[in-house]
Amino acid sequence: MTRRHSLFLSCVLAGALGLTACGFRQSPPPMARPAAFIALGVSAPYLSGDVISGTRARAAKMRSAKITPLAPQAVPAYLGELEGELRRQTAGIGLDVLRIGNSIVIRIPAALTFDTASASLKPQFSATLLEIARTVKSRNRTYVDVLAHSDLSGSDKANQALSDRRAAAVAAQLSSRGVAKARIASRGLGETSPLYNPETSETEKAANRRVEIRLVPYTG
């Protein structure tokens, strides 16, 4: 057996065992979404309002970063292509890609994000963000809003602070994966916008503890 054939067989074995040797990229394992996850909360005002910190301030950062704005007539096609790429890129991971008005929202359930009371990203969440960043960084003519939510247990103040830290952690991770900092802003929403209220099960509590990445077209 030649050295080349031996190396090839070693790489095949590593891939079968779920290892990342030989340069193979392993996708995160598929995760189940909560029932009816996709249909909930799509009319919430925060998803259809202005971008975090306002369009004027965010547009100034985009111009400073020399990011070219979209012509208004180009927005529908651009968002359609972006949505399609995100759906292909994240297929089987266990999140939702939602088209809401003039934006795209990537909704990620608690099973993929953070442990209870923690703002440290789970390893599988880092892998999920890598998949998302691959598309978001190449389709750079959008604002990127990172929104984090809590469940309804605990105090308002503690939940707000925790969701702020979680949103900032996701924003930092996207930036480290190559998404331009000029595009990104983050905000914790605490328990102000639950999908389930009241929460009647652990599944519903987990659904409320979600992270959303909202992509809004930059038109100058």
Tokens (6 digits) for 117? 């009371």
Are 152 and 194 in contact by the 8 Å Cβ rule? The answer is yes
User: Does residue 171 sit in the same domain as residue 88?
Assistant: yes
Amino acid 35: pLDDT: 53
User: Does residue 13 sit in the same domain as residue 72?
Assistant: no
Tell me whether residue 15 is exposed, middle or buried, using C-beta atoms within 10 angstroms of its C-beta: 0 to 12, 13 to 18, 19 or more: middle
User: Does residue 213 sit in the same domain as residue 173?
Assistant: yes
Are 217 and 79 in contact by the 8 Å Cβ rule? The answer is yes
- Reported as a single tens digit per residue, the pLDDT across 54-65 is 999 999 999 999
User: Does residue 38 sit in the same domain as residue 20?
Assistant: no
Interior/surface letters 160-187, b for 16+ CB within 10 angstroms, e for the rest: bebbbbbbbbbbebbbebebbebbbbbb
User: Does residue 6 sit in the same domain as residue 67?
Assistant: no
Amino acid 116: pLDDT: 80
User: Does residue 51 sit in the same domain as residue 152?
Assistant: yes
Amino acid 33: pLDDT: 58
Cα distance between residue 138 and residue 87, in whole Å:
15
pLDDT lower than 70: segments of the chain? 1-39
Number of compact structural domains in the chain: 2
User: Does residue 2 sit in the same domain as residue 68?
Assistant: no
Cα distance between residue 62 and residue 140, in whole Å:
10
Closest CA to 173 of 123, 216, 105, 115: 123
Q: Helix, strand, or coil here: 123?
A: helix
User: Does residue 91 sit in the same domain as residue 197?
Assistant: yes
> Sheet of 184-188: strands edge to edge?
96-100, 103-108, 211-217, 142-148, 184-188
pTM: 0.83
User: Does residue 130 sit in the same domain as residue 181?
Assistant: yes
User: Does residue 62 sit in the same domain as residue 169?
Assistant: yes
What CATH number does residue 200 fall under? 3.30.1330.60
Helix intervals (H) in the chain: 3-16, 45-48, 55-64, 75-89, 123-138, 156-176, 202-208
Q: What is the CA radius of gyration of the chain?
A: 19
Amino acid 171: pLDDT: 97
User: Does residue 57 sit in the same domain as residue 152?
Assistant: yes
- Reported as a single tens digit per residue, the pLDDT across 140-173 is 999 999 999 999 998 999 999 999 999 999 999 9
User: Does residue 167 sit in the same domain as residue 209?
Assistant: yes
Amino acid 92: pLDDT: 84
Q: Which domain holds residue 24?
A: 1-29
